[in-house]
Structure 1
Amino acid sequence: MRVGVDARMLCSSGIGKVIENIVSRMIDDKPDWHFVLLGKMEDFAKFPFTKKANVELIPCNAPIYSIREQFEVPWKLPKDLDVLWCPHYNVPIFYRGRMVVTIHDLAHLALPEINKGFLKQAYAKIMFRAATKKADQIACVSKFTISELKKYVPSVDEKKIHLVYNGVDEKWFSIKKGKPVHDKPYFIFVGNVKPHKNLRRLIEAYKLASP
């Protein structure tokens, strides 16, 4: 198998972690597969798994959500890939090979306040439709994401959709008990500090839960 991965978001907070964990594990689990990673060379240098023998790196600095990526990504990808994994909805619409896309959420359609401007909103609508049409299979990370996808992209072929939950790093199952980080009870928030992450509600919940 020759598997291509659009890894340009490898150092992004959320999707970057998904790429890091999935690709690093697949590289180890499938030593007979050849992985072609497309992305920034300076980002690849930060991760040991990109130096494995079954990994090929292709430099690509095309910005996310840009017109440039629609031409540069399919041009740089090898033509003999068995499948391309796109970890976000900004798929290369001119790519002609088999493709799997992961849809994490429909925030860019459901929450126009975080995607301000007519052009950005139009781009999101076009690309979500293109992603669901071009992809041979669609991985959604939750049942809610599936329901949102059906709601905002009603033309999607439901037979393509698969529920694939985000995994949990094995390190979380081997945490040794020790001295608490703080004396008082606390919540851990691992998301971005952005309005749509609902951090305000978490703070309100903490106030209610605090003794």
Structure 2
Amino acid sequence: MKIAIDARHISKGGIGEYIREILNRIIHETNINFLIVGANEQSLNEIKALKPESINVIRGPKMFSIWEQIWLARFCRTYKPDIFFSPHVTFPIFSSCPTVLTVHDTIWLNYPQYATSRLARTYFLLMLRIAAWKCKKIICISKSTASDFSHWTGVNSSRIEIIYNGVNLTHGHPHISQQLDPPYFVYVGNWKPWKRVPDLIAAFELVDAACADKEVRPKLILAGRHNYNHSDDVASRIQSSTAKEYIQVLGELNRSQLNSLIASSIALVNPSEYEGFGLTLVEAMALGTPVIAASGGSVPEVMGNAGILVQPRDVNSLSNAMLSIINNPELQNTLTECGKNKANEFSWNKTAQLTLDVLLNAAK
């Protein structure tokens, strides 16, 4: 059996974690010949760092380039894989090679104002519709994403497999230079517009005002990569905030640091208008940290009753939820226990095995 996997996004945020966690668990199957495609030196090095023993690592073209489809067609002719697995929207269009595609979200379709350009949104929709017609199976990471994908493509539901993401609990010491004495709320994620970070800042200002007479006032810690369009707007909003003295920006951290940061927080707060899955929410629940989240996309499905849900863009409800956790230790304890129980439903081992099963069945 020969399986090709496009891992060119292995260095990119949540999708990179998805690729790494699955590769880590399936590339040691001795009866399968894996062909792993990387793009630049960083992605190739990350693939090689997985210590694969009997796989071929192949350098592919830049993502979303004109050359890409020509290269993919040639790759399939040369190596003749039994199945091609793409964990993102790009796949070989001009090849008869059976293909499995993972769809993580449809944010650009549901909210066109958040697409990087009209051309990018059109390309995304076109690729999904071709996938609905051509791919043997479509993996969706939540029922919400599957529903959105069906809505935009009209795909037959029998071709969709819902396979949830897992949870990674590598837990060590933060080793972060800034002083991070509790109590603090934490946000983990990027500053893309639909993440609604300004709403979180506005909600925290209300929390800070309500806690003005407390001996120890809570802080807000923002962690994650934030070099995106509109990041300057968020940075300016922090600088002009009435609570800026209590807001700290840490930027990108490694997994161990993030988990330590989350585990020591009052709660993880996610004001995002839309999530295809909500990886950090599950990780926080698994670490015993209460979660407050806006109810966009898959969040109600993934979190269930294990956290506090608020309507997207509702700053007052967000601040009230944060205050309720500060002022109610019993609620905090309840959310901790409910979150741990809910997080037990998610496992990268299960994700990887189910994904491999889909690939093997699609290759028959």
**Is TM more than 0.5 here?**
yes
The more displaced of 122-131 and 136-145 is: 122-131
Would the aligned equivalents of 2:137 and 2:159 in 1 still touch at CA under 8 Å?
A: yes
Return 5+ residue gaps in structure 1 as ranges.
none
Letter in 2 for 1:52: P
Amino acid at match of 2:120: K
RMSD: 2.4
1:87 alignment partner AA: P
Residue in 1 that maps onto 2:68? 69
TM-score, scaled to structure 1 = 0.84
Cα distance in 1, alignment partners of residues 121 and 12 from structure 2: 22
1:152 matched residue in structure 2: 152
Relative to 1, partners in 2 of residues 1:102 and 1:204: Cα closer, same or farther, differing over 3 Å? farther
Aligned-residue offset at 1:100: 0.7
Moved more, 1-10 or 73-82: 73-82
Contact map agreement 1:50 1:57 (CA 8 A) in 2: no
8 Å CA contact 1:3, 1:33 repeated in 2? yes
Decide which of 199, 203, 206 is 2:197's aligned counterpart.
199
Structure 2 residue matching 1:5: 3-state secondary structure? strand
CA contact (8 A) 2:104 2:141 kept: yes
Q: Is the CA contact (8 Å cut-off) linking 1:89 and 1:103 kept in structure 2? A: yes
Deviation at 1:21, TM superposition (A): 0.9
Match of 1:36 in 2: 35
Residue 121 of structure 1: how far off its partner (Å): 2.5
- Shift of residue 61 of structure 1? 2.7
Q: Provide closer, same or farther for how the CA distance between residues 75 and 202 of structure 1 changes in structure 2, counting only shifts above 3 A.
A: farther
Check the 8 A contact 1:79/1:97 in 2, yes or no.
no
Q: Deviations over 1:179-200 (max 9, x none)?
A: x9532132241x2221122333
User: Does the aligned pair in 2 maintain the 1:73–1:92 contact within 8 Å?
Assistant: yes
Is structure 2 residue 11 aligned with structure 1 residue 11? yes
Report the residue type matching 1:194 in the other structure: K
- Aligned partner of 1:40: which letter? A
**Hey, what's the Cα distance between the residues in 1 that align with 2:58 and 2:173?**
43
Query: 8 Å contact 1:90–1:131 — kept in the other structure?
Result: no
Cross-structure match for 2:340:
none
Q: Give me the whole-angstrom Cα distance separating, in 1, the residues matched to 2:139 and 2:72.
A: 21
Alpha-carbon spacing, 1:184–1:31, altered in 2? closer, same or farther (3 Å)? same
- In our comparison, the structure showing a higher alpha carbon Rg is 2
Aligned to 1:141: 141
Rounded to whole Å, the distance in 1 between the matches of 2:105 and 2:133 is 17
Secondary structure of 2:84's counterpart equals strand
Aligned counterpart, 1:94: 94
Greater Cα offset, 76-85 or 142-151: 76-85
Shift of 1:47: 4.3
Per-residue CA distance 1:10-45 (angstroms, 9 max, x = gap): 1111211111110111113x1321110111251222
Paired residue secondary structure (2:46): coil
- Contact 2:3 2:34 (C-alpha < 8 Å) held by counterparts: yes
Name the stretch that deviates more: 105-114 or 201-210.
201-210
Counterpart residue number, 2:25: 25
Relative to structure 1, is the Cα distance of residues 25 and 203 closer, same or farther in structure 2, using a 3 angstrom cutoff?
Answer: farther
Aligned residues: 203
Q: What stretches of structure 1 move > 6 A for 4+ residues in a row?
A: none
Matched residue of 2:186: which SS? coil
SS at match of 2:92: coil
Q: For residues 76 and 204 of structure 1, do their structure 2 counterparts lie closer, same or farther at Cα, with a shift above 3 Å needed?
A: same
Moved more, 197-206 or 4-13: 197-206
- Pairwise CA distance, 1:111: 1.7
Shift of 1:49: 4.7
1:9 to partner: Cα distance:
0.8
Whether the aligned pair in 1 keeps the contact of 2:61 and 2:67 (CA below 8 Å) is no
Task: Kindly provide the amino acid, as one letter, of the partner of residue 198 in structure 2.
Answer: R
Q: In structure 1, how many angstroms separate the alpha carbons of the residues matched to 2:116 and 2:18?
A: 26
- Secondary structure at the aligned position of 2:31 is classed as coil
In 2: Cα distance, 1:144 partner to 1:11 partner? 25
1:27–1:49 CA contact under 8 A, matched in 2: no
**TM-score normalised over the length of structure 2:** 0.51
Q: Which runs of 5+ in 2 are unaligned?
A: 208-318, 327-364
Q: Is the 8 A contact 2:11 2:46 kept in 1?
A: no
One-letter amino acid of the counterpart of residue 23, structure 1? L
Q: Distance in 2 between matches of 1:145 and 1:131?
A: 15
Closer/same/farther in 2, CA of residues 16 and 177 from structure 1, 3 Å limit: closer
Distance in 1 (CA, whole Å) between partners of 2:30 and 2:181 is 43
